Each structure stands twice: as structure tokens, then as C-alpha cells.
Homo-oligomer: A and B are copies of this chain.
Amino acid sequence: MSAKIKTKRANKSADVKISDPGLADAGAFWYTERHDGHSGNTFKINRIIESTQSKFQRIDVVETAGLGKALILYGSLMVAEGDHNAYNEMLAHVPLFSHPKPEDVLIIGGGDCGCLTNVLKHPEVKRATMCELDKEVVEVSKRHFPRLTAGVKDKRAKLIFRDGKNFLETTRKKWDLILLDLSDPVGPAAELFQASFHRTIYERLNDDGILVAQSESPFYNLDITASMYGNLSNIFPQVHLYTCHMIVYPSAYWSFTFCSKKYHPQDDFDHERYKRLARKMKNDYYNDDIHFGSFALPEFVRRAL
């Protein structure tokens, strides 16, 4: 039994003010991302660095007053220089350190390249493929976020610009890790939150493969988080939810669903490899304690799963 993920809107950017006729509308250059019209995050914007409309979505790069440069896609703040990169580090390193030989990694989405760059911090990775629909997001990110996009220059990186669903349905290749680094289930990414796509992913993973999917805010979108957890539990033998603190996302509390054919994220954590790589990785958020602690779920989340 699979519950269909609501795609009408994730309610996330219901009242975002960054929309035509442009940022000046945000009111004295405050960007406010509201949830369901009643609560939100607000950030002061010093200046708009770049505003473009790609074939798929509106893309804005702004200079915030407190958190450095930020990338806004489709009206949702995706990444900021001062957010400690929690989201990208948690999406990449938790599965990478849970798999003993993560050689082939596929990222679906991930246009800001922060996930790719973190994946490539692991010398075990031989090939990291990123399949992103919107080439323009990558180009804009390369211009403005050099630290995030450093991995693009790595010889192991391969970028493919096409629809992730179509790509996975037509390829014959298999991967050790597939990471779903998608924007919210609204707009271009909506179809990639459905169970049918998750089943396709299962087929394209090796027999000991791992999928991690970002699964929205357990505070504001607990229904989406719980539906995804339920759907994925019907497909994978092991499903575990973990979370991080991500300041620029609605509620500042974000979840990831770890789905595995074989390895357990805690029992199979590679302590030796972590000790060897930790210092070189220069992470701001992820570490071994967080790897374990991030699977602890508060009572209101535990009850919903």
C-alpha cells in the first residue's frame, strides 16, 4: 500500500514574496519564506546578485546580511554560505560511511553541487554521476559558490543534464549509492517523490546498495515525511529516518530517509575509515557523533512513522 505524496504544494513556499515583479517587492529587502501562510524564516538581503529564469524555474542569487550569499530556486532558499552546509554533508556522508565500498554514486538533482563535492571527499568513490534537470542552476552555482561546486572539476565527476526519472528508466547501469537531492515536491521535482520512482531506484541499485532521499521538514511537513517513510518501507528491507538542523530551511529541521538493501547505518558505520578521513574532510556539521545521534527522533516524529 503506497500513499501518494501530495504534490499540489508542499505548503512550503505558499507565501514567498520573492516573485515577479522581483525582489524589491519583498519589502525593504527582506526575503521571507513562509510555511502555509502562517510562519516563516526571514533574511535581510543586501543586494540581488543575479536573477534569471531558466527553462524550468526562476533562479536568484542574493547577498544576505547575515549568512553570506544564498541561492533561491523557485522561490525557496536552497543554500547559504553561512548555513554550515548541514544538509549537503548529511545527505552525502551518512550513506558513504555506512557502505564498505561506495565506488559508484549517483545523485539525482543536486544542482548547487554541494552534495557532489561532499561525495568526492571520499577517495573510495570511483565515479560520481550527477543527473540534474536544469543546467542553468549548475552554471549559476559555479559562478557564485566556488566552495560548494569544487567537486565539479574532479575527474571522477560526471554531469548529465536531463530528467532524472527518464534517465533511470532507460539506463542499464547500477549504483552502490543513489542520493535524491531534490527540491520540494512542487514544480519540476514533484514526480520524483512518488513510490513508482522509488521502485525504479531500487532496481538500479546493486544488491547491497543504499538510497538516501531528502524527506522534507518533520515539523511542518510531517505528513510528507511519514508518507515517504511508509512508501519506502514497502520497497526496501531497511528504512531509517535521520534529521539535521538546517537554519535556512522552513522550521530549520530537516529529514532524510535512509533506505538500504543490506547495510545498517549504525551497525555498519566504518569507524576506521572515518578516523582516517575526518580531518581532511573539513566538515562543518557532520562527524561520527552526529552520524549516530541524527537517527534519534523526537516523540512526535516517532509516533507518526
Q: Which of A52-60, A119-127, A188-196, A247-255 interfaces with chain B? A: A247-255
User: CB-nearest residue of chain B relative to A86?
Assistant: B298
Question: A11-46 CB contact bits vs B (8 Å, 1 = yes)?
Answer: 000000000000000010000101111111111100
B298 and A284 within 8 A (CB): yes
Question: A213-239 CB contact bits vs B (8 Å, 1 = yes)?
Answer: 000000100000000000000000000
Task: Decide yes or no whether A129 CB sits under 8 A from chain B.
Answer: no
Task: Decide yes or no whether A7 CB sits under 8 A from chain B.
Answer: no
Question: A291-302 CB contact bits vs B (8 Å, 1 = yes)?
Answer: 011111111101
User: CB-nearest residue of chain B relative to A44?
Assistant: B38
Task: Decide yes or no whether A76 CB sits under 8 A from chain B.
Answer: no
Total copies of this chain within the assembly = 2
Which residues on the B side are within 8 Å of A285 (C-beta)? 298-300
User: CB-nearest residue of chain B relative to A281?
Assistant: B299
Please indicate which of the listed interface residues A43, A219, A245 has the most CB atoms of chain B within 10 Å of its own CB. A245
CA distance in complex: A42, B38 (Å):
8
Question: A267-305 CB contact bits vs B (8 Å, 1 = yes)?
Answer: 000000000000000011111011011111111101000
Q: Measuring CB to CB, which residues of chain A are less than 8 angstroms from any residue of chain B?
A: 27, 32, 34-44, 64-67, 84, 86, 219, 243, 245, 247, 251-253, 283-287, 289-290, 292-300, 302
Known: A39-B44, A39-B67. 19 other contacts (CB 8 A): A27-B27, A34-B42, A38-B43, A38-B66, A39-B41, A39-B43, A39-B65, A39-B66, A84-B298, A84-B300, A86-B298, A219-B247, A251-B252, A252-B252, A285-B298, A286-B299, A287-B298, A294-B296, A296-B296
